[in-house]
Structure 1
């Protein structure tokens, strides 16, 4: 089915579910469960635009609205949705920092998300970025494509074996990434407010203070949620504490990193490079094709072309297994709302802690 700017009704049952910011892969994964939606009396409609004040009219009369990580359900949008019949705002992602939760609570609107889909997908992407950055695969591929098969210092990497990897955040994704790094013979130094005794019991895994992690690791991998307390946790001050020549990898949330400070540290040589799947100002660009127009964000342009940075378009989650799980969990959230709407009101207060 071809995507258009207007909503595309696919069924005609009782409850309307409008899926914003939907791409072909979203439609495919949701439509694989169409018979299950029909069984609970729900319709599926898809809108290819992000949810914001300009597009919210597509959801008029929808009982459930489904959004993605870079949609903008702020207070005016929440108020509109509630006034026009929406009872559940469901995220098909783990991140929820762009929703006005206070407005949801005031409106009595239920909120749900997909806290876990495929932690392996994101963890494996973090390792892929690390290896690609370390062995300069982007530069090497470009040189070979130009007929340059020579070796130079610009391609020199290091052995992963014996290196110390720092994990900021040891939730599901962080722990899986850590176990993969252990397979390379790395040592793990990690920081998290909530420590995992099981993870700490593994050989070559140790919890430490934030400063100890920053000053002792060769590779720093970020696996934290974006909260007021974690925004720009990688800033000029903390970058200055890091071991000279360290690599930074971020597959979590763009706002964890002060991008200007990171670029300054890389250009000065104190940080060797960065593998980034996220960018703090990505919402206007990521998940869309901008190849036919000028990129107006000057910082993003630098990230795109910097020889010591690998930037991917928020694709760490993007595996067939993850998309399937996201669709299944979203369906279960919708089903719970339709079957027992009062219970789903708890989601606003408890699900997103």
Structure 2
């Protein structure tokens, strides 16, 4: 039997994962809040910590749990866990390598259609003003448009398949180009600069690493077609927020559908950020985020692309696999390898 702590989990997900773990003979404590230095539980004799993306598992947090042997994150991204410090202390880290390829791709397509056909503006007009009028709601077809897909992994692949159903032309960039996949799905592999120059629409499906942070910056926007539409369901920090605001203002970007924002934590807890004294750079990003939220050609959703019952069930099952695999073999089913 292991002592396990689940953080930032509630509702049916809490019941589902707790039952699976207790049925397997483990002791489980559940905390509704995220795990960070300011929200440490009084009880800390856990061998396993299961967290979500809102947590900040820093060295201080890791050191506070003297018995921990495994940290799992119920997410594909794991930049909220200090992997190096965990490894230094002999603690394994597990993650969810895939859970919603179609789920996130469907959401990206939803954002694109919302922008291309001005769905949000039309719905808002009727609900807020009762005006049943299509004036000013002219959109554009996806058929014949060139869509640039950055990242052709599992999610990018599904998004490309959907685009083909709309008769769009697809160009793509990936650090590890897959010529066989390109031939199978009928898209063209190009360089980033070629993608920027050719695309009417650009959709991001790559991880956020030190090399890809601010991938779309002032220089990148300067290489794009005038009037490009941008979709981001990957990571907020892939886009330099101030550069995006400038590109919207000068007409380089005609519209943006964003499920993620740079400095999401700051945007959701501004008062706490101000009270604790934040950096000037983050303050600028926070201001730019507000400009995006108010911009008529920007649709922002609250990091919701993953949020279907099917996808969340796959996440919870993977977390359970990570924990049970580690407790029987000392290796999580899906270990972080960096």
Could you state the TM-score of these two structures normalised by the residue count of structure 2? 0.90
1:244-323 alignment, distance < 5 Å: 244-285=226-267, 297-323=286-312
Tell me the secondary structure at the aligned position of residue 149 of structure 2. strand
Map 1:124-273 to 2 at 5 A: 124-145=106-127, 146-153=129-136, 155-202=137-184, 204-273=186-255
Cα distance, 1:222–1:25 mapped onto 2, change above 3 Å: farther
Shift of 1:75: 1.2
- Under a length normalisation based on structure 1, what TM-score does the superposition of the two structures give? 0.87
Is residue 111–residue 345 contact of structure 1 (8 Å, CA) maintained in 2?
no
> How far apart, CA to CA, are the structure 1 residues paired with 2:262 and 2:197?
24
Q: What is the CA–CA distance in structure 2 between the aligned matches of 1:24 and 1:39, rounded to whole Å?
A: 18
* Offset, 1:108: 0.7
Gaps of 5+ in 1: 1-13, 291-295
Partner Cα distance (1:345, 1:116) in 2: 12
| 1:79 and 2:80 aligned | no
Spell out, residue by residue over 1:272-298, the C-alpha distance to the aligned partner (whole angstroms, 9 max, x if none). 110000011112455x9x9xxxxx943
Indicate how the Cα distance of structure 1 residues 345 and 321 shifts in structure 2: closer, same or farther if over 3 A, else same. Answer: closer
Say which is worse superposed, 274-283 or 21-30, in terms of deviation: 21-30
Point out 4+ residue stretches in structure 1 off by more than 6 angstroms: none
- For the 8 Å contact 2:149–2:203, the answer to whether it is kept is yes
Q: Deviations over 1:65-120 (max 9, x none)?
A: 01111210111112222x2x111000100001222111011111100000111211
Looking at structure 1, the residues matched to 32 and 144 of structure 2 have their Cα atoms a distance apart, in angstroms, of 47
Change in Cα spacing, 1:71 to 1:352, as seen in structure 2 (3 Å) is farther
**Secondary structure of the residue that 1:56 maps to in structure 2?**
coil
CA drift of 1:59 comes to 5.6
For 1:280 and 1:24, locate their aligned partners in 2 and report how far apart those are by CA, in whole Å: 28
- Separation (CA, whole Å) in 1 of partners of 2:39 and 2:166: 47
Which secondary structure does the structure 2 equivalent of 1:201 belong to?
helix
Secondary structure of 1:322's partner? Answer: helix
Matches of 1:279 and 1:183, distance apart in 2 = 29
Match of 1:231, SS?
coil
Change (3 A) 1:214 1:62: same
Q: Tell me the number of residue pairs that the alignment of Structure 1 and Structure 2 aligns.
A: 323
- For 2:332 and 2:7, the matched residues in 1 are separated by 21
Following superposition of structure 1 onto structure 2, how do residues 37-48 of structure 1 map, counting pairs within 5 Å?
37-48=21-32
Alpha-carbon distance change, 28 to 131 in structure 1, aligned in 2, over 3 angstroms: farther
What secondary structure sits across from 1:224 in the alignment?
coil
Instruction: State the distance in 2 between where 1:73 and 1:249 align.
Output: 29
Unaligned runs of 5+ in 2: 272-282
Mapped partners of 1:116, 1:23: distance in 2:
22
2:9 aligned residue: 22
SS in 2 for 1:315: coil
